């Protein structure tokens, strides 16, 4: 664009005669215009803007100013109100937060306390239930033990009954010796089946590492008939099988001695009870 064309376009631009595509094109050119061109444009635009100064001046009616000032004051008040509200919000927000902080803490602490109480109760319940379980288990074991004992007792009683139901039974009473005079016992035996029931009462519990051993004295020689232990002085029953003799006449006596645990081939300990068959 040469200077003459530029001045022509700048004059139209300054007076507002450029519009649409013409305006866009010229403004596009201005973005890369020289400093001199821009100065010329500023002078022309300045000249055009002074055109209204040549008009015969007329003042607007006073009501126009009143309306303008009313609107401006309303706008100013509205803007102040917005600023005040914004300020209040910005000032109140921390206060509100501060007010909410203790409430929040109390709420959280309350929740923690409730949860702790709940957890404590839960733990106590679990502990109680565990204790109950242990007690139940102990009861179960005790009942199991009692059941086993009862089964043993039943078995022994059944064995006793079987022996008693035998066609021929022999009963030998054993009395307490010097070691334990209060003790006594019986042996009920079936010579044909070579089985027997030993009943002992008031025998002291066998010390640790010791067992009682039953002896059959045959031809003045002791023959082991088995070992047993008692845990109390009440009556205790034991089944004896494979008794060494079948003829009662061959038996000189029955005796019970205290021997090392498991018994010995020959008696070594003190005799507690003994008795001879009454033929």
Partner 1 sequence: MMQVVKRDTIALSALYDRYSALVYTMALKMVKATDEAEDLVQEVFMQVWNKAAMFAETKGSVYTWIVTIARRKAIDRLRSSQNVNKGVSLDDDEMTFEVPDAAYAANPLHATISSEYEELMKAGLALLTNDQRTILELSYYEGFTQQQIAEKLGVPLGTVKTRMRQGLIKLRDYLKERME
- Tell me how far apart the alpha carbons of residues 203 and 212 are, in angstroms, rounded to a whole number: 10
Nearest to 226 by CA among 234, 235, 216, 218: 216
Task: In angstroms, give the least distance from the CB of 93 to partner 1.
Answer: 25
- Give exposure, 113-145, as e/b (b: 16+ Cβ within 10 Å): eeeeeeeeeeeeeeeeeeeeeeeeeeeeeeeee
Structure tokens of 224?
A: 């082991």
Give the angle subtended at the CA of 104 by the CAs of 98 and 107, to the nearest 5°. 155
Among 1, 3, 75, 88, binds partner 1 (CB under 8 A): 75
- Return the range that interacts with partner 1 (CB under 8 A); candidates 13-21, 128-136, 180-188, 271-279: 13-21
- We find the least distance from the C-beta atom of residue 117 to partner 1, in angstroms, to be 60
21 binds partner 1 (CB under 8 A): no
Min dist CB 104 to partner 1, Å, is 40
Q: State the number of CA atoms in the 13 A half-sphere of 215 facing the CB.
A: 29
**Most distant CA atoms of the chain, gap in Å:** 170
Interface region with partner 1, contact rule CB under 8 A, candidates 26-34, 85-93, 97-105, 109-117? 26-34
The stretch near partner 1 (CB under 8 A) out of 12-20, 88-96, 99-107, 253-261 is 12-20
Rounded to a whole number of angstroms, the minimum distance from the CB of residue 87 to partner 1 is 15
Name the site residues for partner 1 (rule: CB under 8 A): 7-8, 11-20, 22-23, 27, 30-31, 35, 38-39, 41-61, 63-65, 67-69, 71-73, 75-76, 79
């Amino acid at each position: 664009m040469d200077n003459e064309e530029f001045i022509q376009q700048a004059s139209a631009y300054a007076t507002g005669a450029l519009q649409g595509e013409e305006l866009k094109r010229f403004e596009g050119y201005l973005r890369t215009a020289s400093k001199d061109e821009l100065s010329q444009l500023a002078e022309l635009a300045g000249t055009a803007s002074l055109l209204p100064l040549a008009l015969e001046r007329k003042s607007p009616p006073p009501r126009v100013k009143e309306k303008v000032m009313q609107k401006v004051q309303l706008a100013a008040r509205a803007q102040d109100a917005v600023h005040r509200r914004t300020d209040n919000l910005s000032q109140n927000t921390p206060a509100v937060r501060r007010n909410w902080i203790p409430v929040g803490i109390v709420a959280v602490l309350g929740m923690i306390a409730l949860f702790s109480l709940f957890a404590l109760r839960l733990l106590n319940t679990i502990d109680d239930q565990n204790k109950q379980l242990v007690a139940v288990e102990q009861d179960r074991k005790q009942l199991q033990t009692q059941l086993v004992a009862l089964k043993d007792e039943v078995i022994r009683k059944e064995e006793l009954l079987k022996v008693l139901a035998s066609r021929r039974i022999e009963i030998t009473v054993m009395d307490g010796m010097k070691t334990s005079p209060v003790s006594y016992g019986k042996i009920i035996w079936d010579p044909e089946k070579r089985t027997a029931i030993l009943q002992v009462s008031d025998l002291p519990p066998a010390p640790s590492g010791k067992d009682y051993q039953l002896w059959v004295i045959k031809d003045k020689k002791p023959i082991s008939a088995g070992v047993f232990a008692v845990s109390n002085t009440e009556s205790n029953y034991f089944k004896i099988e494979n008794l060494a003799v079948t003829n009662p006449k061959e038996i000189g006596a029955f005796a019970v001695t205290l021997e090392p645990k498991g018994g010995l081939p020959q008696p070594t300990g003190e005799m507690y009870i003994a008795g001879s068959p009454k033929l």
